[in-house]
Structure 1
Amino acid sequence: MTFSIVARCARTGMFGVAVSSSSPAVAARCAYARAGVGAVASQNVTDPTLGPRMLDLMELGASAPQAIEALRGSTEFLDYRQVLAVDAHGRSAIHSGAKALGIFADAKAENVACGGNMLADAGIPAAMVESFTKSEGHLGDRLLAAMRAALALGGEQGPVHSAGLRLVDKVSWPVADLRVDWTEDCPIAGLSALWDLYRPQLEAYVTRALDPSAAPSYGVPGDP
């Protein structure tokens, strides 16, 4: 019931996850990233513990493929799960269990991994990888372009209702954590509009956290 992308920007080292689903609030359960460590999507009959476990393993020095293998050797019910990961060196890895739902597929390349279940077309993850690898610019823009490539091939078999985008970069908190938790319209279009609004302010929000004296004007009524 989900399709997603995890990726690393080779130029900046930023990590990101974008995800969409017919289920509500998908990003709250499926998107995980840690600055300097990696990004993970845990989906399909989701076990929310798998994302943090993968990031902990990679922070301890495991590559993304090694972390996936560690899960396979230690995790019950993994046949029901999909887990996508990319690490700090751009190595990517995927587990798609044999009991994933409907048409499921995955694809990966350096710095990116994509996967989905209940898909309208098994070629969707490969199209997402191709979109990401051929694109340039901010990681958030590239992730959303990959999500739109998934939609162009049909996305899920049924309508999607939620989507999310999480980005991490240098600080201990997400520099962007944007969500459309439920809509009857296209959540990826809604997420793209939210990103267009948020992106110009992203660095300012980081500056306000680190050094308010150096922060730009807040631009709200009452701000001198």
Structure 2
Amino acid sequence: MTFSIVGRCEETGQLGIAISSSSIAVGARCPWVRAGVGAVATQNVTLPALGPQVLDHLQGAKLDPATALDRALGANEWSEYRQVTVVDAQGRTAFFSGKEALGTYHAVAGNQCVAAGNMLASREVIEAMISAFENTSGALPERLLAAMRAAMAQGGEAGPVHSAALKIAGEMSWPLVDLRVDWADDDPIGKLEALWRAYEPQMRDYVTRALNPTAAPSYGVPGDE
């Protein structure tokens, strides 16, 4: 039902996730990021609580990703139905796929990234995602989206995908990017990429506006001066 990639940018330290699913509103349940801490994707039969729990273990207890993931899974029931991936602020990774994961499932760790999926057209979908992330230059959103395109080119899910999300943590406590396509009859990943193209030129202005409302440009929105 889902494929995703979590990754870290070595140059900026940004952490992020791109994810797509046959289910509605995947971005509401599955991607979790925290600046300076890590990124977690929780999927298959999703338990959203696993995301913040893993991040809390990374941040508060200073655990490595594998230990943080084990502790979170051990504190919850039905772990064999979960599929979870983690990258931390140092680029260390961990992943878990329970034996009850749906259909063809796979997870692979690469250089400061992890890709995983279930109900896949083939295991090669995940291999393609890692290769695309590692071999694409540019900003973290570009690399994550390249991985999603590579997944679709390799066959993607066994059935159609309907939702997609892109979430990035930068230096602020709030997400730098939080874009979602909650439902599309076709090509939610393409629609997500179009959202990113529209948002990218304004992204830094919204950070500036938050920190100093007098310094960022107006966009001509009613009430926006």
Deviation of the 1:76 alpha carbon: 1.6
Q: How many residues align?
A: 224
8 Å CA contact retained: 1:161, 1:187? yes
TM-score normalised by the chain length of structure 1: 0.97
Name the counterpart of 2:37.
Answer: 37
- CA offset digits 1:126-154 (Å, max 9, x no partner): 11011101111111111000000000111
8 Å CA contact retained: 1:86, 1:93? yes
Name the counterpart of 1:4.
Answer: 4
Aligned partners of 1:91, 1:201: CA distance in 2, in Å? 31
Taking only the aligned residue pairs, the percentage that are identical comes to: 55
Aligned partners of 1:208, 1:11: CA distance in 2, in Å? 24
Name the counterpart of 1:16.
Answer: 16
Aligned partners of 1:122, 1:38: CA distance in 2, in Å? 25
Aligned partners of 1:120, 1:66: CA distance in 2, in Å? 31
SS at 2:214's partner residue?
helix
Aligned partners of 2:201, 2:102: CA distance in 1, in Å? 38
Letter in 2 for 1:32: W
Unaligned stretches of 5+ residues in structure 2: none
Aligned partners of 1:132, 1:152: CA distance in 2, in Å? 14
SS at 2:45's partner residue?
coil
Aligned partners of 1:223, 1:79: CA distance in 2, in Å? 50
Aligned partners of 1:147, 1:219: CA distance in 2, in Å? 33
Name the counterpart of 2:47.
Answer: 47
Name the counterpart of 1:163.
Answer: 164
8 Å CA contact retained: 2:50, 2:73? no
TM-score normalised by the chain length of structure 2: 0.96
Aligned partners of 1:69, 1:179: CA distance in 2, in Å? 29
Runs of 4 or more consecutive aligned structure 1 residues displaced over 3 Å after TM superposition: 219-224
Unaligned stretches of 5+ residues in structure 1: none
- CA offset digits 1:94-142 (Å, max 9, x no partner): 0000100000001012310010000001111111011101111111111
8 Å CA contact retained: 1:108, 1:126? no
SS at 1:106's partner residue?
strand
